[in-house]
Structure 1
Amino acid sequence: MKGFDFDERDTVDTYHKQLEAMKLAFADGQKYIADPARSHVPIQALLSDSYAEQRRRLIGRSALEPAPGEPPQGGTVYLCTADADGHMVSFIQSNYMGFGSGLVVPGTGIALHNRGHNFSLDPSHANRLEPGKKPYHTIIPGFITHKDRPVGPFGVMGGFMQPQGHVQVVMNLLDFGLNPQAALDAPRWQWLKGKTVEFEHQTPAHLVQALARRGHDAQWALNSTTFGRGQIIWRLENGVLVGGTEPRTDGQVAAW
Structure 2
Amino acid sequence: MRDFEKPGRSAVFAANGVCATSHPLAAGAAVDILKAGGNAADAALAAAAVLGVAEPHMCALGGDCFVLIKPAGTETVHALNGSGRAPAAAMAEKLRAEGHSTVPLNAPAAVTIPGAVDAFCALSEKHGRMELGQVFGAAIRYAEEGIPVAPRVARDWAAQSDHLQGAARDLHLPGGKAPKAGQLFRAPGQAEVLRRIAREGRTGFYEGEVAEDFATTLQGLGGWHTMEDFAATSCDWGDPISSTYNGFELLEHAPNGQGATAMLILNILSHFDLAAMDPLGPERAHIEAEATKLGYDARNRFLADADHCTRLAHMLAPETATNLAALIDPARAMADPARLSEAVHRDTVYLTVVDRDRMAVSFIYSIYHPFGSGIASQKYGIMMQNRGAGFTLEEGHANEMAPGKRPMHTIIPAMLRHEGRLVMPFGVMGGAYQACGHAHFLTNLLDYGMAPQAAIDAPRAFPEEGMLNLESTYPEATAAALAERGHKVQPAPDPIGGAQAIWMHDSGVLEAASDPRKDGCAIGY
TM over 0.5: yes
Confirm or deny: 8 A CA contact 1:120 1:129 kept in the other structure.
yes
Q: How does 1:228-243 map to 2 (within 5 A)?
A: 228-243=497-512
Distance 1:106 1:45, change over 3 A: closer
In the alignment, the residues of structure 2 paired with residue 74 and residue 159 of structure 1 have an alpha-carbon distance, to the nearest angstrom, of 4
Matches within 5 A, 1:165-180: 165-180=437-452
CA positional deviation for 1:216 = 1.3
Aligned-pair RMSD on alpha carbons? 3.0
Distance change (3 Å), C-alpha of 1:80 and 1:45: farther
Contact 1:153 1:232 (8 Å CA) reproduced = yes
Amino acid at match of 2:364: I
Q: For residues 365 and 421 of structure 2, what CA distance do their matches in structure 1 show?
A: 25
Query: 1:105–1:174: structure 2 CA closer, same or farther, 3 Å change rule?
Result: farther
Percent of aligned pairs sharing the same letter: 43
- Verify: 1:255 aligned to 2:524, yes or no: yes
| Partners of 1:127 and 1:135 within 8 A in 2 | yes
Aligned-pair CA distance for 1:103:
5.3
Higher percent of residues as helix: 2
Distance 1:125 1:83, change over 3 A: same
Listed as ranges, the matches of 1:93-242 within 5 Å are: 93-101=365-373, 102=375, 104=377, 111-194=383-466, 196-221=467-492, 225-242=494-511
Please tell me the residue identity of whatever aligns with 1:159: G
Name the counterpart of 2:357. 85
**Closer, same or farther in 2 for the Cα pair 1:177/1:111, shift >3 Å?**
same
Change (3 A) 1:132 1:143: same
State yes or no: 1:47 paired with 2:181.
yes
The answer to whether the 8 A contact 1:161-1:226 is kept is no
Q: List runs of 5+ in structure 1 lacking aligned partners.
A: 1-27, 49-72
- The corresponding residue for 1:10 is none
Number of residues paired by the alignment? Answer: 196
Tell me by how many angstroms 1:111 deviates: 4.3
Shift of 1:74: 7.0
Deviations 1:26-66 (A, max 9, x none): xx7xx99xxx9945228887428xxxxxxxxxxxxxxxxxx
Q: Secondary structure at the match of 2:388?
A: helix
CA offset at residue 75 of structure 1? 4.7
Counterpart amino acid of residue 248 in structure 1: R
C-alpha distance 233-122 of structure 1, shift in aligned 2 (>3 A): same
Q: Residues 30-45 of structure 1 correspond to what in structure 2 (within 5 A)? A: 38-41=170-173
Distance (Å, rounded) in 2 between the aligned partners of 1:191 and 1:119: 21
Q: Cα gap change, 1:182/1:45 in structure 2, threshold over 3 Å: closer, same or farther?
A: farther
SS in 1 for 2:523: coil
Question: Alpha carbons of 1:244 and 1:45: their partners in 2 closer, same or farther (altered >3 Å)?
Answer: farther
Distance in 2, matches of 1:216 and 1:97, equals: 27
Separation (CA, whole Å) in 1 of partners of 2:390 and 2:171? 28
| Contact map agreement 1:81 1:90 (CA 8 A) in 2 | yes
Report if aligned partners of 1:234, 1:242 keep a CA contact under 8 Å in 2: yes
SS at match of 1:137: coil
Is the 8 Å Cα contact of residues 88 and 153 (structure 1) preserved in structure 2? yes
How far is 1:145 from its partner?
1.2
When the two structures are superposed, what TM-score results if normalisation uses the length of structure 1? Answer: 0.67
> Does structure 2 conserve the Cα–Cα contact (< 8 Å) formed by 1:105 and 1:111?
no
The equivalent residue for 1:14 is: none
Return closer, same or farther for 1:100/1:133 CA change in 2, 3 Å cut-off.
Answer: same
Query: 2 CA distance for matches of 1:74 and 1:216?
Result: 22
Q: Check conservation: 2:352, 2:362, Cα contact below 8 A.
A: yes
Q: Which TM-score applies when normalising by structure 2?
A: 0.34
Please give the secondary structure, in 2, of the residue aligned with 1:254. Answer: strand
Structure 2 unpaired stretches of 5+: 1-157, 163-167, 183-344
